[in-house]
């Protein structure tokens, strides 16, 4: 198979995931995955994100590369909260999560020469009890668009959060601690100083 290239292929167009890799100084190239997400019934959130992460990874992987795919969702009380369809759907999600602790679950798949790993990370996030005014202000910001659970913790959505338990970067969209641990084990050359 030969030696892996000296950068990570990210199977994602997410600006948040790109920013996290830049922050961690992991060299990468982003490629849009061709995998089409579908949510089979009766899958637990951890299994669902692992399936999607693996599908994204394998849709772009080429021999000689180290390829990363990630999928993130929000789960609470037996329900999965994906990306809201519209402002009304976002409001419903935020109302459901208000004053509650939910899980942010990310699946991560890493494939390359002698590497074939699928794992997941869970971070617990507790929202403050949100007033109607707080929810309305957040909905009007538009930041909820395209966000699992209808919020972005790294932006204005940080106002909604009381506390987190676990990896903050996971809530942003990529479980950084898990990724670094896997790269240390399987592709340490990607963690060398730039």
Site of tokens 């089409």 = 36
Active site residue 71: yes
Identified catalytic residue from 63, 71, 89, 167:
71
- 103 with 45: CB under 8 angstroms? yes
| DSSP assignment string, 128-193 | ----HHHHHHHHHHTTTTT-GGG--TTTGGGGGEEEEES-HHHHHTS-HHHHHHHHHHH-GGGGS-
CA pair distance 180, 41, nearest whole angstrom:
32
* Six-digit token string for 137: 């202000």
CA pair distance 122, 113, nearest whole angstrom:
27
- 37 with 52: CB under 8 angstroms? yes
DSSP 8-state secondary structure symbol assigned to residue 43: -
- 46 with 107: CB under 8 angstroms? yes
Residues annotated as catalytic are 71
């Amino acid at each position: 198979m030969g030696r892996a290239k000296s950068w990570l292929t990210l199977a994602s167009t997410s600006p948040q995931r790109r920013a996290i890799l830049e922050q961690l100084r992991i060299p990468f190239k982003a490629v849009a995955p061709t995998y089409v997400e579908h949510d089979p019934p009766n899958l637990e959130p951890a299994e669902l994100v692992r399936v999607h992460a693996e599908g994204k990874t394998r849709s772009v992987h080429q021999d000689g590369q180290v390829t990363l795919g990630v999928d993130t969702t929000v789960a609470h009380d037996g329900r999965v909260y994906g990306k809201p369809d519209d402002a009304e759907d976002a409001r419903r999600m935020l109302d459901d999560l208000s004053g509650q602790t939910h899980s942010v679950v990310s699946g991560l798949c890493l494939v390359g020469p002698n590497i074939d790993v699928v794992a997941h990370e869970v971070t617990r996030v507790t929202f403050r009890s949100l007033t109607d005014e707080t929810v309305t202000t957040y909905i009007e910001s538009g930041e909820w668009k395209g966000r699992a659970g209808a919020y972005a913790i790294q932006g204005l959505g940080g106002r909604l959060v009381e506390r987190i338990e676990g990896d903050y970067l996971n809530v942003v969209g990529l479980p950084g601690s898990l990724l670094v641990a896997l790269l240390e084990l399987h592709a340490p050359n990607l963690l060398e100083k730039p």
